[in-house]
Chains A and B, each alone.
Chain A
């Protein structure tokens, strides 16, 4: 697994983590998705990311009490806890789905968060999306 670089999809809340599209450096990176609130992230977005080959998904949300829409971050957190278990049912390690609740309005720490997840994913190796694996065998 030399030269393996994990693919990460990162969803970030505009209010807590800055307006991604205003930063040319970040907005050009693949897999960066800016959302109005982490509460907007649906389970299917996360599932589709893995289906399409992501090795990890990172969700950058506001900390407790800071959600612009009251409790979008809290609801997403509940989803993430259960989604991790669901993912492991599909053979995808729960640790590949990470949620960070903090504030960084300038978005300066975003790349650092992505890199940290990538580092941890490198230890796990590529994600085995079950359907893809089965096709490869057939």
Chain B
């Protein structure tokens, strides 16, 4: 009997939703678990970092890594798993693009610390204490990982072999990806294990989309009762479906909520936020050109909206982790 392939699953700067998505394989998870040996999965199994350290280099067939890299412990764990693994899969929007946590790159670490530990209305901190990487207490030493200035996507810290986007990735793509790894039936390294087409192409509302889209008034999602059958853009509601990779199952648009781009851009787009911005700009229409400025001004928070999931991999936001 040949040994089952070893698989590690871990979270870095993550919410755990990706782990829940794996559990959402339900019965299929038991079949998968029978075909592999899960050697690390902190949310569910009692293995510790030392178990991982004990493996030979590349002994783990596949590491599924979720979450962004926000602190020194994330970077250490990512590097450890990279060394011990044959294949690293960046799993979910945070590992692939930094995710919503990447919005923190619009501000500094100091601003975050000042608010959280000093200025929030509930803080009681008479001595102005901030968490420290090293604390001495009666001769005892306590350590914390270093909180970085910046939020990184996984491939800005270690080489990544494959990408599975989504917030979280949907069950069918997870199952397909795991199967592909187990059977060795994989596309070239660096590929994204999701369809290449844009969400618009599979959107159920696409059939009723007018030939020429025009936005004359921007509507925010709470301001109107949007029609569940018609294109959001036609209703003046910002939707990122035109430049976002499909494969998510159209869960949001089917739920009458516009796309925010958690699958990342379609292949070939370098800066997803810029592409969304261009797509919207090209369909804005005003009766008089001087009204254009006013119309664009009603696009609220373009930075936080267009770069909702992709700030950390955007042209201006991206950065490689500088190794000390």
Q: Do A and B touch each other in the complex, judged by CB within 8 A?
A: yes
Residues of A within 8 A of B (CB): 42-44, 47-48, 50-51, 64, 74-79, 81-83, 85-92, 129-131, 134-135, 137-138
Partner of B271, one of A47, A79, A81: A47
Q: Within 8 Å CB of A44, what residues of B?
A: 270-271, 274-275, 315
> Is the Cβ of A42 less than 8 Å from the Cβ of B274?
yes
Q: How would you classify the secondary structure of chain A's contact residues: helix, strand, loop or mixed?
A: helix
> Is the Cβ of A81 less than 8 Å from the Cβ of B278?
no
Q: How would you classify the secondary structure of chain B's contact residues: helix, strand, loop or mixed?
A: helix
> Is the Cβ of A86 less than 8 Å from the Cβ of B281?
no
At the interface with chain A, which of B16-24, B165-173, B298-306?
B298-306
> Is the Cβ of A43 less than 8 Å from the Cβ of B303?
no
Q: Within 8 Å CB of B280, what residues of A?
A: 82
CB A25 to nearest CB in B, in angstroms, measures 31
Partner of B284, one of A50, A78, A129, A130: A78
Q: Within 8 Å CB of B222, what residues of A?
A: none
- Contacts A44-B315, A82-B281 given; indicate if A89 touches B149 (C-beta within 8 A): no
> Is the Cβ of B315 less than 8 Å from the Cβ of A79?
no
- Contacts A47-B271, A64-B289, A81-B296 given; indicate if A86 touches B149 (C-beta within 8 A): no
Q: Within 8 Å CB of A87, what residues of B?
A: 316
Q: Does B191 contact A (CB under 8 A)?
A: no
Q: Within 8 Å CB of B307, what residues of A?
A: 86, 89
- What 3 pairs between A and B have smallest CB-CB spacing? A89-B303, A43-B274, A81-B296
Partner of A50, one of B105, B278, B304, B316: B316
CB A82 to nearest CB in B, in angstroms, measures 5
Q: Does B293 contact A (CB under 8 A)?
A: yes
